[in-house]
Amino acid sequence: MIFENYNPLEEKRFQVMDETGNIVNPDLMPNLDEKTIIRMLRTMLQAREIDLKLVMYQRQGRMLTYAPNIGQEAATIGSISVLEKEDWMVPAYRELGAMLWRGMPLDKMFTYWYGNERGSHMAEDLKILPVSVPIASQLLHAVGIAWASKLKGTTEITITYFGDGATSQGDFSEAMNWAAAYQTPVLFICQNNQFAISMPRSKQTRAHTLAQKSVAYGMPGIQVDGNDVFAMYAASMEAAERARTGGGPSLIEAYTYRMGAHTTSDDPKRYRSDEELDSWKGKDPIARLTKYCLNKKLVSEEEIETWRKEYIAEVDQVFKQVEQNSDMKPEEIFENMYSKMTPQLQEELDDYKNYLAWKERGQQ
């Protein structure tokens, strides 16, 4: 119903709640209970506080490179919240909100960004694949998992995330084509945050929308206001129900904006204006949902402030634990790629051990 009415070739963007928190499309407002809406807001607030803190830790030299999610909280939380426990999540690296929603422990997340390989060992019942940095490679894994679910005759679906830049990769094309040809139950969530590092979306492709790429592969596609958590939820739910009942994959382009830097190694002032950033601050997904919740008296300003303080204290406490307990040995990075090390990796590990021994001997 929603996808049908928002043909991506007509460049229509699906929105339910506007920037002031008003419901502008009441017929398509999803039927969410108060508890779920409050949980959405709380998870978005928690993700924001985590981002702000981790960037600070990195600046203090206490952490490796970090990729903040600021501005993209609705895109991830609105889509992940349609999943059931048995479904799979296949992330890139900018899906903090979705991971929180799915119950990923903070210490595991921080361990990864701290540079410790053990942060990639996911508990099996979470059904989240590790963070994937090689752009678009995770899309093929998602399609493989979904195909396996289909062959096993289950109703499990797989959601996968990627950026606007990823749509230029060959892996994107292969994954989309295979998913449609084999009707695998996948939700492709493209977080179009307008940039691939410094490359603006306008230079990424001549296509008017990223959602319209779905047409060539033969799957439903839609462009959604990615800063509107209700629109993201409604579109994702329709796609999930279709996937679960044998209707195959869908592409959702979440039209959003990365308000922070690409990573802590990037300086966005070099390629975008303050005016542009300011215009997007007015569309902040958290401000928008907060206004809605305050108007409806679902929460109070005081509650929000209390939660924020709790989240900040929790991040501080968990991050200190991660710092204190990090006893990872560099050798571990050779051991995690394959279940059995390849001869080449073994050789590299031996070289590395020889190097450590040489250092131990005082470089003689």
Ligand X SMILES: Cc1ncc(C[n+]2csc(CCOP(=O)(O)OP(=O)(O)O)c2C)c(N)n1
Q: Which of 8, 97, 163, 285 binds ligand X (CB under 6 A)?
A: 163
Using CB atoms, what's the residue nearest to ligand X?
163
Determine if 330 is a binding residue for ligand X (CB under 6 A). no
Segment (H or E) for 86: none
Q: Which of 237, 211, 186 is nearest to 29 (CA)?
A: 237
Comparison of 128 and 139: residue with beta carbon closer to ligand X: 139
Determine if 197 is a binding residue for ligand X (CB under 6 A). yes
Determine if 133 is a binding residue for ligand X (CB under 6 A). yes
Give least dist CB 218 to ligand X, A. 23
Determine if 131 is a binding residue for ligand X (CB under 6 A). no
Choosing from 94, 102, 242, 258, the catalytic residue is 258
- Produce one character per residue of 249-272: b if its CB has 16 or more CB atoms within 10 Å, e if not: bbbbbbbbbbbbbbbbebebeeeb
Residue with token string 């289909």: 150
Q: Which of 230, 212, 231 is nearest to 222 (CA)?
A: 212
Q: Which of 77, 135, 145, 210 binds ligand X (CB under 6 A)?
A: 135
Identify the three-state secondary structure at position 358: helix
Q: Which of 57, 66, 188, 195 binds ligand X (CB under 6 A)?
A: 195
351 alpha carbon, distance to own chain's centre: 37
Residue 258: active-site member: yes
Comparison of 169 and 177: residue with beta carbon closer to ligand X: 169
Determine if 164 is a binding residue for ligand X (CB under 6 A). yes
CA 236-242-243 angle, to 5 degrees, is 85
Give least dist CB 266 to ligand X, A. 9
Choosing from 48, 201, 262, 288, the catalytic residue is 262
Contact of 102 with 128, CB cutoff 8 Å: yes
Determine if 213 is a binding residue for ligand X (CB under 6 A). no
CB neighbours (10 Å) of residue 84? 11
Determine if 166 is a binding residue for ligand X (CB under 6 A). yes
Residue 141: active-site member: no
Determine if 165 is a binding residue for ligand X (CB under 6 A). yes
Residue 262: active-site member: yes
Q: Which of 103, 105, 115, 134 binds ligand X (CB under 6 A)?
A: 134
Which residue intervals of 245-342 are DSSP H helices? 274-281, 285-295, 301-325, 332-335
Tell me whether strands 186-192 and 158-163 are parallel, antiparallel or unpaired.
parallel
Footprint of ligand X (CB under 6 A): 94, 133-135, 162-166, 191, 193, 195-197, 258, 262
What residues are annotated to the active site?
A: 258, 262, 271
